[in-house]
Amino acid sequence: MRSMSSVSPKGPTGPKSPTREVVLTLGPATARVRTRAVLTVATLALLAFAGLVASVSLGTFAVPVGDVLGVLFGGGPADARLIVLDLRLPRALTAVLAGLAFGLAGAVFQAVTRNPLASPDLIGISAGAGAGAVAAIMFGGVTAAGAATFGAVPFGALAGALVSAVLIYLLAYRGGTITGYRFVLVGIAVNGALAALTRWMLARADIDQAARAMTWLTGSLNGRGYDHVRWVGIALLLLVPLTLALVRPYQLLQFDDDTARSLGMPLARARIALLLLATCLAALATSAAGPVAFVALGAPHIARRLAGTAGIPLITSGLVGAALLVLADLAARLVLDPIELPVGIVTGAVGAPYLLLLLARANRAGRGG
């Protein structure tokens, strides 16, 4: 491995500062990686891990950080092991993994549609997952904690998200292609229809079913156990490598269609494959944490600013999502202690003004419709 510097072409205000790169060599294969990208990924990974440690450490009964680290690495006192391993770690791990899935899903949707508002929680994917999961909660016998019968929720969420994605794609498909603007408009309409369907199901449910479903629909990590961690972890082990394997189509689809075609990209197949993976990631995260707002929308924008790139960095977006959700859940537990807020309220409070800012910028740039 060696480092090198390169100077970017002159811009309108003169030459830009040198871009540091690291050349990675593994046998015959070599790759150039920007130093800023490497530092950003490392910093975000440390931030997500720090958020996980803080989430496990802080609470009604605080556990010293040293004891938390000792338990995580196989040691620590017995009382700390009980609090860390049995009570708090499953929830923190679920937050990190679900946030990673939300961040990746948002990055893929925004890159493929080339629209900064194409987030699963705005265009109907999360609403479809929510409708499917509420049906599973109502008819699958899911308990309040969701530990023993949680298996019904991911399948319901995945089925609902896939139906929603197929419907949006078919309605947005015109003239052999789809545009980001049409995709978002159709998605917002489907989102409204699915929200109405969910409310109809809640109106027909008994009070206990409706209470469990409403808590989940707000977006909550309360009562999460190792069942949730296993579901999300196993699914991510499958979906993340598949998503990274399509990184070249992911990058090319951020250009216009003509450029992508000239570089040999089969647009329709690439879009369908990436949108299918993004839908599965969004359904996976929604089944574990509920339809949490803002994380999938904001993570790609934050990642692009941190990495300093024109496109949306995929891995960085996932790590931003992981850090955002675990830190938001920590704030939800501590801000009004001993009252615990659903994490969706915290992310929604942050995301609403951010969405207004995005819309204002889109209008100034002439993309607001």
Average pLDDT of every residue of the chain: 81
Measured CA to CA in angstroms, residue 204 lies from 81, 110, 137 at distances of 43, 36, 13
Tell me the per-residue pLDDT of 149-203, one tens digit each, with 9 for 90 and over. 456 777 888 889 899 989 998 888 876 677 777 888 899 999 999 999 998 988 8
The DSSP code for 174 is: B
Burial per residue of 352-364, b for 16 or more beta-carbon CB atoms within 10 angstroms, e otherwise: eeebeebeeeeee
Dist CA 61 CA 79 (whole Å): 11
Confidence of residue 100 (pLDDT cuts 50, 70, 90): very high
| pLDDT score recorded for residue 85 | 86
pLDDT of 216 over the 90 cut: no
The pLDDT value given to residue 7 = 40
Least confident interval from 23-27, 81-85, 353-357:
23-27
* Average pLDDT of the segment spanning 310-329: 92
154: alpha, beta or left? (left if phi > 0; alpha if psi -120 to 50): alpha
Compute the distance between CA of residue 364 and CA of residue 174 in angstroms, rounded to an integer: 27
DSSP state of 23: E
Residue 2 in 3-state DSSP? strand
Compute the average pLDDT of residues 258-282.
84
Using an 8 Å Cβ cutoff, are 277 and 205 in contact?
Answer: no
Indicate the pLDDT class of residue 204, thresholds 50, 70 and 90.
confident
- The domains of the chain, with CATH numbers, are 88-358 (1.10.3470.10)
- Give the Cα-Cα-Cα angle 128, 130, 131 (nearest 5 degrees): 65
DSSP state of 14: B
